[in-house]
Amino acid sequence: MPEPAPIPMSATLAADEALARRRRAGERVLSMAAGEIGLPVLPVLRERLAAAAAENAYGPVAGSPALRTAVAGYWERRGLAVDPGLVVAGPGSKSLLFALLLAIGGDVVVPVPSWVSYAAQARLAGARPIPVPIRPGQGGVPDPDRLREAVVAARAAGQDPRVVVVTVPDNPTGTVASAGTVRRLADTARELDLVIVSDEIYGDLVYDTSEPAVSPALHAPERTVVTTGLTKNLALGGWRTGVARLPDSEPGRAPAGNALLSGFMGTHKKKWGGETAPEGGEFTPPKWFFKGFGDWVRLPGEALNVPARPVALIEEPEVALVYVNDADGTPHYAGYTFGNDLCDIGLHRQDPGYNPYCKLCDTALTPWLFLGPPPRTVTGRVTIVRDGATVWEGTFDCGDDALYYRVQDMADHLFTFPAVRRPGLVNYVLLGADEASFHDGFRIADGDRVAIDVKSHGVAFENQVRYVSPAPSATPAAAPAPAAAAAAPERVATV
Ligand X SMILES: Cc1ncc(COP(=O)(O)O)c(C=O)c1O
By CB under 6 A, name the binding residues for ligand X.
34-35, 92-94, 115, 167, 171, 199, 201, 229, 231, 237, 242
Q: Which is nearer to ligand X, 20 or 485 (CB)?
A: 20
Q: Which is nearer to ligand X, 34 or 218 (CB)?
A: 34
Q: To which H or E segment does residue 460 belong?
A: strand 459-468
Q: Which is nearer to ligand X, 80 or 420 (CB)?
A: 80
Angle at which helix 144-156 crosses helix 179-192, to 10 degrees, equals 20
Min CB(229)–ligand X separation in Å: 3
Name 471's Cβ contacts closer than 8 Å, sequence gap at least 6.
none
Q: Quick one: CA dihedral 363, 364, 366, 370, positive or negative? A: negative
Min CB(99)–ligand X separation in Å: 12
Min CB(392)–ligand X separation in Å: 52
Q: Which is nearer to ligand X, 115 or 333 (CB)?
A: 115
Min CB(119)–ligand X separation in Å: 13
Q: Which is nearer to ligand X, 238 or 257 (CB)?
A: 238
Angle at which helix 93-104 crosses helix 116-124, to 10 degrees, equals 40
SS3 109: strand
Min CB(62)–ligand X separation in Å: 16
Q: Which is nearer to ligand X, 89 or 186 (CB)?
A: 89
* CB of 88 closer than 8 Å to CB of 228: no
Q: Which is nearer to ligand X, 101 or 444 (CB)?
A: 101
> DSSP per residue over 428-451, as a string?
EEEE-----GGGGT----TT-EEE
Min CB(95)–ligand X separation in Å: 7
Distance between first and last Cα of the chain: 74
Min CB(234)–ligand X separation in Å: 11
> DSSP per residue over 296-331, as a string?
GEE-TTS-EEEESS-S--B--EEEEEEEEE-TTS-E
Min CB(419)–ligand X separation in Å: 42
Sheet-wide strand order for 426-431:
288-293, 259-264, 426-431, 317-325, 331-340, 363-365, 297-298
Min CB(315)–ligand X separation in Å: 46
Min CB(242)–ligand X separation in Å: 4
Q: What is the dihedral of CA 61, 65, 67, 73, to 10 degrees?
A: 130
How many C-beta atoms surround the C-beta of residue 251 within 10 A? Answer: 26
Rg (CA), the chain: 27
Q: Quick one: CA dihedral 478, 480, 481, 486, positive or negative? A: positive
Long-range Cβ contacts of 474-483 (<8 Å, 24+ apart): none
Q: Which is nearer to ligand X, 171 or 366 (CB)?
A: 171
d(CA 41, CA 45): 7
Q: Which is nearer to ligand X, 35 or 106 (CB)?
A: 35
Q: Which is nearer to ligand X, 94 or 269 (CB)?
A: 94
Sheet-wide strand order for 224-229:
87-91, 241-245, 224-229, 195-199, 161-167, 107-112, 129-133
Q: Which is nearer to ligand X, 111 or 286 (CB)?
A: 111
Compute CA distances 364 → 291, 303, 373, 428, whole Å. Answer: 11, 9, 21, 12
Nearest residue to the partner ligand X, using Cβ = 92
Min CB(171)–ligand X separation in Å: 4
* CB of 217 closer than 8 Å to CB of 245: yes
* CB of 93 closer than 8 Å to CB of 228: yes
